[in-house]
Structures are given as C-alpha cells and as structure tokens.
Amino acid sequence: MGRWSIPGIRVSRLLLILLVLSLAGCTTTAVSGAPGSTVAATATIAVTATPQPPCAQLVPGSVPAQGVNGVAGIQLPSGTYIGAATTSGGGQGQYTVHSYTLCFQGTESAIDGGVISPSAPPTSTIGYLVHAGWTLNNLFPDPTSFAYLDYCSSGHTCVNDAGSPNPFTFVGFDQFTSQSGGYTTFRLEVATIAAPSCLDDPQYYSGTPKYTIYEDGNSASSNNPTYHFQMPPGTRVSTFQGGGTAGSTYVYFCSAGTQATVVNFLVQSMQNDGYTISSAASAGFTATKGSGPSYRVDVSVQNPNNYYLRVFVPM
C-alpha cells in the first residue's frame, strides 16, 4: 500500500483520506484498499422541515389573503390567511354564494368591533367597509333558496354595496371560533348575481343602472311598510316615467331569472308583507292588503326583461 512521508511520521494514503472525510462531516459508503483504487463517499445532510404557520394548520390549504373577490375595499387583519372558496346557489334567479374560511391572530373584535357607522372612525374590517360606503342592512340570501333575503342576527353581520352600476353584492361574517395561540377563524360569504338582460329600449332603461332590494327602496327598514316588500334578485329600476292612468300608476322593472322565478318570488314576498294573492296565473296576479283604506297591486310579468306593477290609489 502506498504511503506518504511526513517528517517523523509515515501515514497511509487510505487513512489520510478517511481522516479528511471524517473532519468534513462525511461518511464513507465504499472503500477499496487496493492500490490505485477509488474511494466513494456520500455526504449526510441533515434536513430540518419548515414548520407551517398556525393559520395554515388551522385552515388546511389556506394562503396569505390578498383581498376577497367581489369585496372592494376590504381591510383584513395583518397576517390573515384565507382558504379556498366553496360555491353554492347560482341557479335561475338565484344569487351565487362563495364561502371562505379565514384565520388571523387576534380576536373577533378585529372583524366586527367598534362603532360601525359611516361617520365613526373605523376600527374593524366591517367598520372600514361601512366607512367606505357599504351599507349595514344585515341582509343575506336564505341558504335554502339563494333568492329571498333573510335578516342576519346572532353573531352574523352582513353588509351590501350600493347596487349601482351592478346588482347588489351581499357579504356576511359569522362562525367565529377562538383557536389556541390567540388565533381566530371565521366564515366570510359573498353573494352576487349577474346583471339581468333588460329590454333594449332607452325609453325604459338608460343611463347608469340602478338596482333595488325592496319595491320602495334599498333600506331594510321603512316608515311605510305598505310597499316594503322584496323585489326579485338582480332587479333593475326602469327609467320610464309614463304609464299612469286614472286611479293607478305603472312602475316598471327588469329582473334576473325567468317569468316563473319572478312571479313566484313576488307571490312569496308580497304574502310575507301581508298581501292576499288572487287571480294567480303564470304571468302575474293581484295582491290586496288592508281595509279602510285597502291597497291593491296588479303584477304583470309577460317577460322578466321588462314587467310592471300597477299600483292603485288606496281606497
């Protein structure tokens, strides 16, 4: 076996190679002691797994939130993670609802705390939305129909946008859960509907589209409940100002969905507002309410792209 000479020391070439590999933190996997043979060695590298952020563990598949589709101006707590969306609804005359699970380090108050008012300094996610023009109507589509709007309550807070130039978007926050380590998870839902295809006639539909939630406007409350019944999802108000006759006024609308979905929705909505339905047909019905005075509304839906409510003078 070949040897190297160092003054005063005779060292085997093989022993020297092994010494160098040992000092370099390597282990020998194959060694041949024959002169001129090659020594094969494999380095052992210790790999340390990077721990997942707590929110990525609490909401599998979640990623750092960069906003939420359809919710302009939302400000989430720093470091918020958001999971993938699940989708429901979306049929004829229905809202499409996208549901997300979010996670952040902090408490529920970071989402719905503080004084929530357009004029109050915002201190939470919902506060910032309302300050930016969203309305705290606390309305959201019923999960059994995805059409009729229910009131949000019991830990469920909901806002909607202005309904112009696009149909209303509704956003709900609920299912808050305190997690270990000071983290909170919650559900955020976004309900949207595509704009209806309205009659192509500038006499009836022109300018910036304006949509309505109720027959008498967009506020969840009303000083006159007589005409405070919900209109179908995605209902645009006509700009037509004519159509009045002696003792009655014609009010025109255009809604998403079909003749059947619009008629059926208005039957339910007006019954919920205390009206009695009569003369029901596929294209409409008559609705009456009260006595002394009594109110009457004739509903005619020949086509959802332009239909009318004939509102009679109370008698």
Domain-ending residue, one of 143, 161, 192: 192
Instruction: Note whether 144 and 254 are same-domain residues.
Output: no
d(CA 176, CA 245): 54
Instruction: Note whether 141 and 97 are same-domain residues.
Output: yes
Domain-located, residue 199: no
Token pair 């839906």 is found at 301
- pLDDT band for position 10 (cuts 50, 70, 90): very low
Q: Which domain holds residue 121?
A: 54-192
Helix ranges, 226-291 (H) = 259-272
pLDDT tens readout for residues 187-219: 999 999 999 999 999 999 999 999 999 999 999
Instruction: Note whether 63 and 85 are same-domain residues.
Output: yes
Instruction: Note whether 58 and 186 are same-domain residues.
Output: yes
This prediction's pTM: 0.83
CA–chain centroid gap for 147, Å, is 15
Domain-located, residue 206: no
Instruction: Note whether 60 and 38 are same-domain residues.
Output: no
* Whether the predicted pLDDT of 166 surpasses 60: yes
Domain-located, residue 201: no
Reduce the DSSP state of residue 244 to 3 states and report it: coil
* Structural domain total, the chain: 3
Q: Which has the closest alpha carbon to 210: 242, 162, 175, 249?
A: 162
Which residues are 101's β-sheet partners?
187
- pLDDT band for position 43 (cuts 50, 70, 90): low
pLDDT tens readout for residues 110-154: 999 999 999 999 999 999 999 999 999 999 999 999 999 999 988
Instruction: Note whether 173 and 302 are same-domain residues.
Output: no
Domain-located, residue 300: yes
Which residues in the chain belong to E strands, given as ranges?
3-6, 9-12, 26-30, 40-43, 63-64, 81-82, 86-89, 96-105, 139-141, 149-151, 157-160, 170-179, 183-192, 211-214, 230-237, 248-254, 276-281, 284-289, 295-300, 307-312
Instruction: Note whether 94 and 155 are same-domain residues.
Output: yes
pLDDT at 303: 97
Domain-located, residue 87: yes
What is the average pLDDT across 103-114?
97
